[in-house]
């Protein structure tokens, strides 16, 4: 066995035990990385005797650690070099003197100071691997103890890990299917012996040298010939997190999260240790197949916790969306193994292997693809708040149509009665306009929020499209209701055009979006001229100019043309900031708007030196805005983003 040093965060084995009462610092201290996983240029070791949740660590220099290893002597073995070192153990390449064979020698670093949990894990690995005599599982030769340090003598595998072989590169689909078929059969054998791995991943699949590299030696192993020739014989290694089906022995507490986040089944990610069984290993094989097909695991967040949240709540992007050449049948097999609910996966790894064999042989597969309604239903069950938001948006879009048609009808009725009761007509007009304004504002906010939430789940792109399509059908009714109707508040019509411009922009229809923004600008320019005392009217006109500038930039127009729009907006907001005329635009919002214009100017500066100056001025304005309205969370978020 030759453990490679994993530098990627998402490939480290994690153990997290939520304390009864803990601070973020405490939680960070209880995240432990398993043997063989290095981080950076130094070796991170748990100090012997440190209790659970301790944040005490010692930092050894690798060169020193390797030198120490060369002087160690284990009875019957000659240590040749250090292969890997991690939080709990070290793995040496050694020669077994009596049999004159090269082995991998695995030892606990803490020796006689090892905790009961560390010793129990070590014994579990020895017992698990010891009974698994299989061509695709690393074999154990001896279990012993030297100087109070337990050790395992394991089969040494020369070809490195599957992770190193893959190198984050998509593999040919038949190669991927045959590789996972071989591993699934090996895990089906292990499960039949009552052993669950709990940490399957490419880094824990070791490879012999490919057959073509073995100078013509024949092989008696059971791997598929294509896999053996191109990759070498795969052998599952590192059963350090394994457990037996018939007993847990209290080794794993409820709530403990064990495994590697990117390959961890949802029941593992939720800390439901009692529910983690053979189907969790099947899920990991599905994640491994996904990586072989796409070059990346199905979930990979910016941190361990982001990844765990994705595993628990999100559906994987279908492999064919990342690699269009992935066949539908193989994608169906992969996604079935990656089902969130264990009962929805294959009955066991043997059935998974059989379906992969069917795919390779060109026979009909057993799995059926998940329908779009079922996928949406499952997502809704896991994300009830976002699902409710999406439904609310849809209902409000329908409401906009009803409200806009209704208030236009009432306005026409009240106009006819105006000669009898002008005051009542004005009140009706204001009520109708207020209803339209409220409906538009609410729909605009909810559509934006729904798009933001749904964008975190690429597999739900079709739902995002449907919401935008519904909005495109409903919102124009408000603008159209204003045609030829002098009683309809022009601000509402302008707002409707702005909303429609934003929706078209999200749909990528830039020319149509520009036309809507231009219509809004025409109305707002007249309003600003008619009401010079209204600061908000000037601000609305500035927003329309910014929107048109953004579209022009996306359409590839010269930066000088784009800057012209931003400079016009700047002059409008600057005048309001320096010489306010009314009280209809809060000072904090004026400063926020001016900071936003500075940010746009920084994106299209006349010379490179101006960009930094614009951003500095924008930061000053945002800080002043926060000082004026410290309770305004949106302002604080803008300030944090600006500093970031």
Quick one: average pLDDT of 98-124?
77
30: confidence class by pLDDT, cuts 50, 70, 90 = very low
SS3 82: strand
Contact 285, 279 (CB under 8 A): no
- Rounded to whole angstroms, how far apart are CA atoms 639 and 644? 9
Question: Average per-residue pLDDT in the chain?
Answer: 74
Cβ-based neighbour number of residue 46 at 10 Å = 20
In the block, residue with structure tokens 């201290």: 29
Q: Give me the pLDDT at residue 65, please.
A: 39
Quick one: average pLDDT of 398-417?
53
Q: Give me the pLDDT at residue 612, please.
A: 84
Please tell me the least confidently modeled range out of 229-243, 259-273, 450-464. 450-464
Quick one: average pLDDT of 42-62?
28
Please write the tens of the pLDDT for every residue from 126-172: 777 788 889 999 998 988 887 777 888 999 998 889 999 999 999 99
Q: Give me the pLDDT at residue 456, please.
A: 52
Give yes or no for residue 315 having a pLDDT over 70: yes
What tokens does 498 get? 């702005």
pTM, to two decimals:
0.53
Closest CA to 436 of 401, 485, 391, 403: 403
90: confidence class by pLDDT, cuts 50, 70, 90 = confident
37: confidence class by pLDDT, cuts 50, 70, 90 = very low
What tokens does 438 get? 């409220």
64: confidence class by pLDDT, cuts 50, 70, 90 = very low
Query: What are the distances in angstroms from CA 325 to CA 173, 294, 299, 359?
Result: 8, 10, 20, 15
Q: Give me the pLDDT at residue 611, please.
A: 85
Choose from 292-306, 398-412, 596-610 the range with maximum mean pLDDT: 292-306
**CA atoms 242, 246, 249, 252: torsion sign:** positive
Give yes or no for residue 304 having a pLDDT over 80: yes
Give yes or no for residue 2 having a pLDDT over 60: no
| Comparison of pLDDT for 15 and 347, the residue scoring more | 347
Quick one: average pLDDT of 96-115?
80
Please write the tens of the pLDDT for every residue from 414-423: 555 554 555 5
Please tell me the least confidently modeled range out of 14-23, 189-198, 249-258, 597-606. 14-23
348: confidence class by pLDDT, cuts 50, 70, 90 = very high
Q: Give me the pLDDT at residue 31, please.
A: 28
Give yes or no for residue 217 having a pLDDT over 50: no
Please tell me the least confidently modeled range out of 170-184, 466-480, 540-554, 571-585. 466-480
What tokens does 622 get? 């945002």
Quick one: average pLDDT of 193-212?
89
**CA atoms 511, 517, 522, 523: torsion sign:** positive
Written as one string, the DSSP assignment of 570-617 is HHHHHHHHHS---SSS-HHHHHHHHHHHHHHHHHS-SSHHHHHHHHHH
Quick one: average pLDDT of 71-92?
78
SS3 614: helix
Query: What are the distances in angstroms from CA 156 to CA 39, 150, 244, 384?
Result: 24, 18, 25, 49
Closest CA to 16 of 199, 241, 258: 258
434 is catalytic: no
SS3 244: strand
Q: Which burial class, exposed, middle or buried, applies to 494 when counting CB atoms under 10 A from its CB (0-12, 13-18, 19+)? A: buried
Strand-pair partners of 15 = 32, 258
Give yes or no for residue 639 having a pLDDT over 90: no
Point out the catalytic residue in the list 32, 188, 199, 489.
199
Quick one: average pLDDT of 363-384?
63
Please tell me the least confidently modeled range out of 258-262, 274-278, 406-410. 406-410
- Rounded to whole angstroms, how far apart are CA atoms 492 and 436? 7
């Amino acid at each position: 066995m030759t453990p490679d040093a994993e530098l990627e965060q998402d490939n480290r084995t994690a153990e997290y035990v939520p304390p009864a009462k803990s601070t973020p610092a405490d939680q960070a201290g209880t995240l432990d990385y398993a043997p063989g996983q290095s981080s950076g240029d130094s070796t991170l070791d748990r100090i012997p005797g440190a209790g659970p949740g301790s944040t005490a660590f010692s930092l050894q220099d690798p060169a020193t650690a390797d030198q120490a290893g060369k002087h160690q002597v284990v009875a019957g073995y000659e240590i040749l070099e250090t292969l890997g070192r991690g939080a709990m153990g070290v793995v040496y390449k050694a020669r077994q003197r009596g049999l004159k064979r090269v082995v991998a020698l695995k030892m606990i670093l803490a020796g006689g100071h090892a905790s009961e949990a560390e010793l129990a894990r070590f014994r579990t690995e020895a017992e698990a691997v010891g009974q698994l005599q299989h061509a695709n599982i690393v074999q154990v030769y001896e279990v012993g103890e030297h100087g109070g340090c337990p050790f395992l003598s394991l089969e040494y595998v020369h070809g490195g890990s599957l992770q190193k072989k893959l190198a984050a590169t998509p593999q040919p689909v038949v190669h991927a299917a045959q590789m996972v078929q071989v591993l699934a059969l090996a895990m089906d054998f292990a499960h039949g012996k009552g052993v669950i791995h709990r940490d399957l991943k490419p880094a824990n699949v070791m490879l012999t040298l490919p057959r073509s590299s073995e100078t013509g030696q024949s092989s008696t192993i059971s791997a598929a010939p294509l896999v053996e020739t191109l990759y070498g014989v795969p052998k599952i290694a590192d059963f350090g997190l394994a457990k037996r089906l018939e007993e847990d022995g209290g080794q794993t507490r409820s709530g403990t999260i064990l495994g590697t986040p990117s390959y961890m089944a949802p029941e593992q990610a939720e800390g439901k240790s009692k529910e983690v069984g053979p189907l969790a290993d099947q899920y990991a094989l599905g994640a491994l197949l996904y990586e072989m097909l796409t070059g990346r695991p199905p979930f990979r967040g910016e941190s361990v916790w982001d990844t765990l949240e994705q595993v628990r709540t999100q559906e994987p992007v279908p492999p064919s969306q990342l690699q269009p050449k992935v066949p539908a049948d193989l994608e169906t097999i992969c996604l079935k193994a990656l089902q969130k609910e264990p009962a929805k996966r294959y009955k066991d790894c043997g059935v998974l292997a059989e379906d992969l064999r069917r795919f390779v042989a060109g026979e009909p597969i057993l799995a059926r693809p998940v329908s779009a309604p079922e996928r949406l239903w499952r997502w809704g069950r896991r994300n009830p708040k976002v699902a409710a938001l999406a439904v609310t948006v849809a209902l409000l879009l329908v409401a906009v149509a009803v409200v806009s048609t209704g208030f236009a009808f009432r306005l026409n009725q009240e106009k006819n009665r105006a000669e009898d009761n002008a005051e009542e007509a004005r009140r009706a007009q204001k009520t109708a306009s207020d209803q339209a304004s409220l409906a538009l504002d609410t729909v605009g906010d909810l559509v934006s929020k729904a798009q933001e939430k749904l964008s975190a789940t690429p597999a739900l792109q079709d739902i995002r499209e449907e919401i935008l399509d519904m909005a495109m059908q409903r919102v124009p009714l408000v603008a159209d209701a204003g045609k030829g109707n002098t009683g309809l508040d022009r601000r509402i019509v302008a707002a409707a055009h702005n909303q429609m411009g934003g929706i078209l922009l999200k749909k990528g229809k830039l020319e149509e979006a520009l036309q809507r923004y231009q219509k809004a600008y025409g109305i707002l320019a007249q309003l600003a001229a008619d009401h010079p005392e209204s600061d908000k009217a000037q601000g609305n006109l500035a927003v329309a100019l910014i929107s048109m500038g953004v579209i022009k930039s996306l359409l590839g127009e010269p930066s000088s043309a784009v800057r012209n729009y931003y400079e016009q907006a700047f002059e409008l907001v600057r005048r309001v900031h320096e010489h306010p005329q009314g009280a209809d635009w809060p000072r904090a919002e004026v400063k926020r708007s001016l900071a936003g214009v500075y940010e746009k100017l920084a994106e299209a500066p006349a010379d490179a030196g101006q960009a930094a100056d614009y951003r500095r001025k924008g930061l000053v304005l945002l800080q002043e805005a926060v000082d004026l309205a410290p309770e305004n969370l949106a302002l604080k978020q803008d300030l944090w983003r600006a500093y970031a």
